[in-house]
Structure 1
């Protein structure tokens, strides 16, 4: 390792190393007693104005009591009913027969178990986040954005919004299908006065249902909750009638739908409870789907349809802004609804397999109506289940859109949503969501929509599990969920399960959604106003801290070797205004090593007039300077009674562990007049960012002003650096360095190196330690294209 060198390096241009004055600082004065009184006074003074966007709420913060006046929903009405109804959806009365008939009972039960395991672990993550602090409106978007930051939160929130839009279209399509199958030309009510059928007739029915949902949601969330309670009661009664019919009905020859052109027979048998029927339905028998132009059915298609019907676990979290106690209601209501729907689906699948031939299951998805003791029960059940699911998705989409608009994730693009809110109900968001649902309804095929819906929801679940996994791995002390069944294992299993099943359902849709998500992450990072603010807590910072700390502990200074030596720079700066070229030059010279910009503020800590350490207040200004200069440097500030003492502190404490500066850089002590590179016209560093309210930050020594540092103290500082076993560089005339001119000059340039050891002038060995050090720095500079 190279140590204790006194080096003076120069270049052949008039831009030799140097800088006007080395280090200076301003002294702070004030009485300790007055500072103490001001400190206590500040505790009771009005808070400083916030730069947060309107409507912004930090995760875990307690909102204004006035904001909670609209929280009227409890666990049952606000969470259990919406979740249960969303998980029943069109699946319970229309698509379970399709799944059992094609996949067989064994695979159907396996698929339900896989789906609910994924859902259960995702619910565990949702419960962990929701019980870790106060939860505002926006549901899953709020939780993810306050954990992963605005880029991931905004992108996943956008995809979750689209998933709710697609889910609403899926539910409405199922509702319209139930109406056609029951009241169409070939339905149970198929008479001369029946409603017409056809592509555009179906779109008209879907649009009418969508408009009815719009009216209900516009009335408000309380109306939606009351509607959900009533609808759940109706659905449960209709489902019970189906169970009773399975147990009591005898054999029935059920007609097949008129639009099924894949078979050459017109009916199939419902056998009632029979062991032979159960045995025949145990194993898979994939056929073609008569509702999607005869497309071949396989495991992925069936699972996509199944999972699309049980994606409603976020319905309660979407209502977080209207819940009285979301931290309690979301876990209790969601878990109860998940268990309830799982038992209902398992019982329904077993009874279907034991009573209905696979031919009927595969060729008539609405066979439950003709075999029911009162067929109208099934029709009512289909309409109410799908209608409530659509309501849940529509209101969920509007709430996520409102949260995105309040956080200004897309800037002014969604400002109309914030302005279009009346009494807490986002009217503009509801109408915008309704328009997008209309566009989804043009797709038509229920099973095609189902796969898109499943992939989008799975991506949202994946992000939820990723957020919880990341924050649990980092060991953040402020992550203390009261939900005791959450661990990093549950989050990892949920993450792995959703990631795999996304590609099982449809690899093209999965890959497309991930690409779209990454595009949104990059776009929001570059352009979103929300990502520019410091109020967002991003988990990336916690993860980086966790990893950096681990590797810093592994980095051992005792294992350093000359082969892997690199410069670790400490540049001591008096005022950055006068030494911008030097700051940039040292950045070129560090070669991937540590670069620390150090500054000493002269003063007494106890006499400081401020209520806090002044270096704390100035630290953010120096970080802004680093951003403006576009250099890869750390900043170290210290408060000391003298410049020399402060430099001793910086040399000792700068860096961490094995990453500590081995080279100290000082400006040369001369009478050269300093220049303000932030002001004059030709400067590439010109800016007014540090000129605010008539006060210039980083003041520098002007003409006629006395130096803050004497020549004797400067020499003693040099001696201190050498005695502390650090390499030393003295830099002069860097205010003359024009890097842009060098870049424009195409003729051959040279970097002159003068291998002079001032401690041993008679030494003519060109390969002593000092010469090697100088050659090393020159070589590093020469590696850069501009040099």
Structure 2
């Protein structure tokens, strides 16, 4: 069946983000509780609360902008962003919290609307008025997102008129500006006031959650959000000055409609508060069902709620989700009032904002290759925002913070146990596969030598028989790069099932010894031919082993095939490390490493890189690295010393160096004298040629006195010297 693509309603930045965000910011708290805030904590306390709350929102806006410009933001807004960054379990846990916060926002705004009417007409029932308001805004939301956005323009104009009327108002009594509000016995604590106020600056969620209806979410979300946060901050910093100059603390605390008495035209405040509360309720009514719709589409919600993910009409309106939210908000209205709902909202919003900041911060810290936002934010600001959210939660109410954390973790573990597979085909695995695919497609494009890592293919045979090869390889990578333990099985007629069982057994054997490695076993009549075949075909895209680790050969009859294999690997541009060390590698001494050096190019640079990686391992951390170079005479030694000292200083490898004057001695003789006590010696190999078996036999004879050595042949087309500097 062919499914037609869903068309976005194409809302602009102003209509889809700025307007609903600023209307939510300039809402019920501003009109009905801001006087109470100023009365309780005074002018300076109010400015501090506004600055602190807006700072948290602004830092969250930065993180939000980074994530929004990194990926295509679809329906669900903040939930969509978090789930695609931290995984569906984390995203689902926060998404459900975010939905509850948005739905409770509708209850708070409509309760505020009803409270303002009851202040004028005391005989009316506040609960019924609030329920009627919910039914009204739900009806508008069910019609169209575009219709809802047009209604908001008239409300924005009404709010602007009410603020102008307030500015040109006059004092209602003789008063002095009270910097810290009413006396302690007549006021409530600072953090309680903060908890009531904070929902006033949470309007950024409305614009984000409308992402599915925006023409250009990546552009509109950052721009519209910053505009709304900035405008809201200016207004909230000006209002305390006006209120503190025109009424005393007691009047501000006791009269929720104090602005009406202060304003030049009092009824303009009524129009503003009614418009603001209804528009804020409308914005949250548009946003909450869209979060619910995204949760249902991703399979986060229980199966019986799957229908909430279906949209209606060309605009893909979440009508079922709106009806569900309608029932939820009416229930909340019947059970609570404004001062009860607002602090609960604060906890939910701070939780969602904290995780959003944490998500953006961790993406930056880890430098994930998939995180490349157009709007760049330093990780410090994102993590500062996260710390601010969680810190303020604890200051407001430690018990409520603990309950919120338990709530989120319970949802997380519930989702984890369900093992969701609907969205990405298997929760953790699906996300990892998505990241692997993304990285693989770009790996070959990111061939900067500075990012080089050894990707090892270790031909160990049966791991038990040549364990030292695996142990040395693990010391090279220390869990920071990829390694594959490979075996060429020379048996014939081996079934795929048996090979699979052998791979599982080998993987378990390695895991018990804390070796994290891939495992590959292939059958071949000839081990050398099998090794060539594996190197030819093993890997995926740009992710192929770049360094082959082999054991030394002791069979003269194998020498020709062995050398031919080395030449083959070199032609394939693979680095080759031939490890010839004591079998009891774990107990062997690891206090000195000699690198016999002939210059930076090819083998020289790679040997120092591998020696440096080895010294970062636990066993070799105390080893002294000495770079040794042979020169023909004293004059050459003086010239070489200047260059070598400068090069080693630039390498930042904490290595020593020794210049040995040959004095007519052969290199094997020098090697025997100078490295006879070294615990490990690195030696370069020449490029393979037709006489390589003879060369290699001679090399074995000349190094037989060395107890541990690694022969290095650089074959990869990489400027290894750039890795060092």
TM-score, scaled relative to structure 2: 0.64
1:285 — aligned with what? 183
Q: Following TM superposition, by how much is the alpha carbon of 1:374 offset from its aligned partner in structure 2, in angstroms?
A: 2.6
1:577 — aligned with what? 497
> Against the structure 1 CA distance between its residues 223 and 355, is the aligned structure 2 distance closer, same or farther, given a 3 Å change threshold?
same
2:234 to 343, 356, 379: 343
Deviations 1:43-99 (A, max 9, x none): xxxxxx9xxxx99xxxxxxxx9x43x3332111111111010111111111111111
CA contact (8 A) 2:259 2:269 kept: yes
> Against the structure 1 CA distance between its residues 144 and 663, is the aligned structure 2 distance closer, same or farther, given a 3 Å change threshold?
farther
How far, CA to CA, are the matches of 1:556 and 1:108 in structure 2? 63
2:404 — aligned with what? 513
> Against the structure 1 CA distance between its residues 601 and 226, is the aligned structure 2 distance closer, same or farther, given a 3 Å change threshold?
farther
Matches within 5 A, 1:558-573: 570=485, 572=487
How far, CA to CA, are the matches of 1:403 and 1:353 in structure 2? 44
Would you say 1:437 and 2:329 are equivalent positions?
A: yes
Q: Following TM superposition, by how much is the alpha carbon of 1:206 offset from its aligned partner in structure 2, in angstroms?
A: 1.1
Q: Following TM superposition, by how much is the alpha carbon of 1:127 offset from its aligned partner in structure 2, in angstroms?
A: 0.9
Would you say 1:455 and 2:347 are equivalent positions?
A: yes
Would you say 1:299 and 2:194 are equivalent positions?
A: no
CA contact (8 A) 1:471 1:539 kept: no
CA contact (8 A) 1:101 1:285 kept: no
Would you say 1:446 and 2:338 are equivalent positions?
A: yes
Would you say 1:425 and 2:349 are equivalent positions?
A: no
2:246 to 352, 355, 360: 355
> Against the structure 1 CA distance between its residues 242 and 409, is the aligned structure 2 distance closer, same or farther, given a 3 Å change threshold?
same
1:236 — aligned with what? 160
CA contact (8 A) 1:100 1:281 kept: no
2:87 — aligned with what? 149
> Against the structure 1 CA distance between its residues 181 and 551, is the aligned structure 2 distance closer, same or farther, given a 3 Å change threshold?
farther
Q: Following TM superposition, by how much is the alpha carbon of 1:592 offset from its aligned partner in structure 2, in angstroms?
A: 3.5
What is the aligned length?
Answer: 519
Deviations 1:272-293 (A, max 9, x none): xxxx511x344563456xxxxx
1:600 — aligned with what? 522
Question: Does the residue aligned with 2:176 lie in a helix, a strand or coil?
Answer: helix
Deviates more, 1:414-423 or 1:512-521: 414-423
Question: Does the residue aligned with 1:598 lie in a helix, a strand or coil?
Answer: strand
> Against the structure 1 CA distance between its residues 656 and 236, is the aligned structure 2 distance closer, same or farther, given a 3 Å change threshold?
farther
1:715 — aligned with what? none
Deviations 1:499-526 (A, max 9, x none): 1011122222221111111111222122
CA contact (8 A) 2:9 2:146 kept: no
> Against the structure 1 CA distance between its residues 277 and 409, is the aligned structure 2 distance closer, same or farther, given a 3 Å change threshold?
same
> Against the structure 1 CA distance between its residues 615 and 212, is the aligned structure 2 distance closer, same or farther, given a 3 Å change threshold?
same
> Against the structure 1 CA distance between its residues 473 and 657, is the aligned structure 2 distance closer, same or farther, given a 3 Å change threshold?
farther
Q: Following TM superposition, by how much is the alpha carbon of 1:133 offset from its aligned partner in structure 2, in angstroms?
A: 3.2
The one of the two structures with greater contact order (alpha-carbon pairs below 8 A, sep at least 6) is 1
Deviations 1:250-279 (A, max 9, x none): 5x4xxxxxxxxxxxxxxxxx33xxxx511x
1:587 — aligned with what? 508
2:431 to 532, 536, 550: 536
CA contact (8 A) 1:148 1:538 kept: no
Q: Following TM superposition, by how much is the alpha carbon of 1:400 offset from its aligned partner in structure 2, in angstroms?
A: 0.6
Matches within 5 A, 1:5-404: 66-67=5-6, 69-184=7-122, 195-196=123-124, 201-245=125-169, 249-250=170-171, 252=172, 270-271=173-174, 277-278=176-177, 280-283=178-181, 285-287=183-185, 297-404=188-295
How far, CA to CA, are the matches of 1:166 and 1:124 in structure 2? 25
Question: Does the residue aligned with 1:235 lie in a helix, a strand or coil?
Answer: helix
Deviates more, 1:217-226 or 1:570-579: 570-579
Q: Following TM superposition, by how much is the alpha carbon of 1:215 offset from its aligned partner in structure 2, in angstroms?
A: 0.3
Larger helix share, 1 or 2: 2
Query: What runs of 5+ residues in structure 2 fail to find an aligned partner?
Result: 440-451, 457-469, 476-482, 544-560, 586-679, 681-725
CA contact (8 A) 1:569 1:595 kept: no
Q: Following TM superposition, by how much is the alpha carbon of 1:479 offset from its aligned partner in structure 2, in angstroms?
A: 2.3
2:548 — aligned with what? none
1:693 — aligned with what? none
> Against the structure 1 CA distance between its residues 324 and 540, is the aligned structure 2 distance closer, same or farther, given a 3 Å change threshold?
closer
CA contact (8 A) 2:43 2:179 kept: yes
How far, CA to CA, are the matches of 1:507 and 1:151 in structure 2? 25
How far, CA to CA, are the matches of 1:318 and 1:128 in structure 2? 16
How far, CA to CA, are the matches of 1:136 and 1:661 in structure 2? 59
2:663 — aligned with what? none
RMSD of aligned residue pairs (Cα, Å)? 4.5
How far, CA to CA, are the matches of 1:411 and 1:165 in structure 2? 19
> Against the structure 1 CA distance between its residues 538 and 357, is the aligned structure 2 distance closer, same or farther, given a 3 Å change threshold?
farther
Q: Following TM superposition, by how much is the alpha carbon of 1:458 offset from its aligned partner in structure 2, in angstroms?
A: 0.8
How far, CA to CA, are the matches of 1:349 and 1:244 in structure 2? 15
Deviations 1:405-424 (A, max 9, x none): 12222363332113453331
Query: What runs of 5+ residues in structure 1 fail to find an aligned partner?
Result: 1-48, 56-63, 185-194, 253-269, 289-295, 544-548, 561-567, 620-641, 665-724, 726-787
CA contact (8 A) 1:602 1:643 kept: no
